[in-house]
């Protein structure tokens, strides 16, 4: 028997029936404007190295990075996030290389900004590429457990951030999770007249096992050894704590706020955006990328479709932007309409 029309009056499938009405009711869209591309930079010239646990990701020297930057601009990706690969000779207990004005990061920033002034350049502020022990901060030599000291580390981070700003970085991004570093860095930048340098705070950075492939990429896995970052990065069990972390960084003057990792932490992205109403970013980390790549390579998942779905889910959760190793691929896929 045909339904009389009394039931069901509401048919959710009506709007899904045709492409035009699906498009008209679409709530979220991903565009190239939402993307930040992380890049690994090497010293030297004409160098490209692959990263075994991150197929498709390469470490490149500055001359080759300029080609990558040009692609990003052409594809409409607004910004690059720089991660340096520092060789063993540059790593010390005191991380002094982190604020060397002739170091790899300042030279990379200068080269990028000279060639592509309109490209956003974001630098990572944390000591882990530069410490012989692979921790993000300075270790207390008297502590048998190697406690990472907060206030001593702040002084080092302030010097590092200032060094990046002097080189021309548009955004400095403290990812170290020390307490009070946003305020300390803001003061340092303002004192030196860098009032326009933005701070992207990695406010809710979790002590995650999804960072594994990244540590291979920058070569800090060996230095960190069996060490962990539980005394400063957040416990994956916590949610309210993330709101407090972001609130503190708002009060200290940060401009942008990062949740990291991404897909296992969509609830945190949602809460930060809903409850605090700030520019909210999310980092689809190396382990998330590696999972999609591996499943794609095995033919277990449609890599492109799943990667785009994951990126869209960040928008749906409330992210204003996404830091992702897929940034250039995604921008290319969107451009080709594929
Ligand atoms: N500071 C960078 C990381 O901690 C890891 C990022 C990633 O796994 O992609
Ligand atoms: Mg904090």
Is 289 touching ligand 1 by the criterion CB < 6 Å?
A: no
- Please tell me the number of the ligand nearest to residue 82's CA: 1
- pLDDT (tens place) for every residue of the chain, 338 residues total: 565 667 899 999 999 999 999 999 999 999 999 999 999 999 999 999 999 999 999 999 999 999 999 999 999 999 999 999 999 999 999 999 999 999 999 999 999 999 999 999 999 999 999 999 999 999 999 999 999 999 999 999 999 999 999 999 999 999 999 999 999 999 999 999 999 999 999 999 999 999 999 988 888 888 888 889 999 999 999 999 999 999 999 999 999 999 999 999 999 999 999 999 999 999 999 999 999 999 999 999 999 999 999 999 999 999 999 999 999 999 999 999 86
Predicted confidence at residue 225, as pLDDT, reads: 84
DSSP string, 92-160: BSS-GGGG-TTSHHHHHHHHHHHH-TTSEEEEEE-STTTBTT--SSEE-TT-TT-PEEHHHHHHHHHHH
The preferred substitution site among 211, 227, 264 for testing ligand 1, maximizing ligand atoms within 8 Å of CB, is 211
> What atom in ligand 1 is closest to the CA of residue 126?
1
Q: Is 46 exposed, middle or buried (0-12, 13-18, 19+ CB in 10 A)?
A: exposed
Chain centroid to CA 324: 7
Nearest in space to 248 (alpha carbons), one of 311, 317, 201, 307? 201
Q: Ligand 1 centroid vs 2 CA: distance in angstroms?
A: 58
DSSP state, 69? Answer: H
Q: Which of 104, 48, 95, 54 is nearest to 215 (CA)?
A: 54
- Report yes or no: 126 and 105 within 8 Å, Cβ to Cβ: no
Q: Is the distance from the beta carbon of residue 232 to the nearest atom of ligand 1 less than 6 Å?
A: no
Strand ranges (DSSP E) for the chain? 35-42, 48-50, 58-61, 79-84, 120-125, 138-139, 148-149, 171-174, 198-205, 256-260, 280-284, 321-324
Q: Residue 223 has what pLDDT?
A: 86
Q: Single out the catalytic residue among 91, 229, 260, 293.
A: 260
Rg of the chain (C-alpha set): 21
Dig out the tokens for 230 from the structure.
Answer: 């539980």
Output the six-digit token pair for 175. Answer: 């990812």
Query: Under CATH, what is the fold of the domain 29-335?
Result: TIM Barrel (3.20.20)
C-alpha of residue 286 to centroid of ligand 1, in Å: 7
226 is catalytic: no
Q: Is 325 in the pocket of ligand 1 (CB under 6 A)?
A: no
User: How would you label 171-188 residue by residue, b for 16+ Cβ within 10 Å and e otherwise?
Assistant: bbbbbbbbeebbbbbbeb
Q: How confident is the model at residue 30, as a pLDDT?
A: 98
pLDDT at position 221 is 81
**ipTM for the whole complex:** 0.95
91, 205, 273, 315: which one is catalytic? 205
Q: Which atom of ligand 1 is nearest to the CA of 210?
A: 8
Angle among Cα 293, 298, 302 to the nearest 5 degrees reads: 65
Pocket test for ligand 1, best of 38, 181, 286 (most atoms within 8 A of CB): 286
Is 229 in the active site?
no
Instruction: Check whether 245 is labelled as a binding-site residue.
Output: yes
Please tell me the predicted confidence (pLDDT) of residue 338.
Answer: 63
pLDDT of residue 1: 58
Only one residue has tokens 């794609």, namely 296
User: In whole angstroms, what is the distance from residue 121 CA to residue 115 CA?
Assistant: 12
Q: Tell me what pLDDT residue 5 has.
A: 63
Residue 220 in contact with ligand 1 by CB distance below 6 A: no
Q: What is the token pair recorded at 128?
A: 């882990």
Ligand nearest to the CA of 212: 1
Cβ(285)–Cβ(293) below 8 Å: no
Distance 22 CA to ligand 2 centre (A): 41
């Amino acid at each position: 028997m045909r339904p009389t029309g009394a039931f069901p009056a509401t048919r959710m499938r009506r709007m899904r029936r045709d492409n035009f009405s699906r498009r008209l009711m679409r709530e979220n869209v991903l565009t190239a404007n939402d993307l930040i591309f992380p890049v690994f930079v090497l010293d030297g010239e004409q160098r490209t190295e692959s990263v075994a646990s991150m197929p498709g990701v390469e470490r490149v020297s500055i001359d080759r990075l300029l080609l990558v930057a040009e692609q990003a601009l052409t594809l409409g990706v607004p910004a690059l996030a720089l991660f340096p690969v520092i060789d063993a000779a540059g790593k010390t207990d005191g991380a002094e290389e982190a604020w060397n004005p002739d170091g790899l990061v300042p030279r990379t920033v200068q080269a990028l900004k000279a060639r592509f002034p309109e490209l956003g350049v974001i630098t990572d502020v944390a000591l882990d590429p530069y410490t012989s022990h692979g921790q993000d901060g300075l270790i207390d030599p008297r502590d048998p457990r190697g406690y990472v000291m907060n206030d001593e580390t702040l002084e080092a981070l302030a010097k590092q951030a200032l060094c990046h700003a002097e080189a021309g970085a548009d955004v400095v991004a403290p990812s170290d999770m020390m307490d009070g570093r946003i305020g300390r860095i803001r003061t340092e930048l303002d004192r030196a007249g860098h009032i326009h340098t933005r701070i992207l705070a990695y406010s809710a950075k979790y002590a995650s096992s999804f960072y594994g492939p990244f540590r291979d990429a920058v070569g800090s896995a060996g230095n960190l050894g069996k060490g962990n970052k539980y005394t400063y990065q957040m416990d994956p069990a916590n949610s309210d704590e993330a709101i407090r972390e972001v609130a503190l960084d708002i009060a200290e003057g940060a401009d942008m706020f990062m949740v990291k990792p991404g897909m296992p932490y969509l609830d945190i992205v949602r809460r930060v955006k809903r409850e605090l109403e700030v520019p909210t970013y999310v980092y689809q980390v190396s382990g998330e990328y590696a999972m999609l790549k591996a499943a794609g390579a095995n033919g277990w998942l449609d890599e492109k479709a799943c990667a785009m779905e994951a990126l869209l889910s960040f928008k749906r959760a409330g992210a204003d932007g996404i830091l992702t190793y897929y940034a250039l691929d995604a921008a290319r896929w969107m451009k080709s309409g594929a």
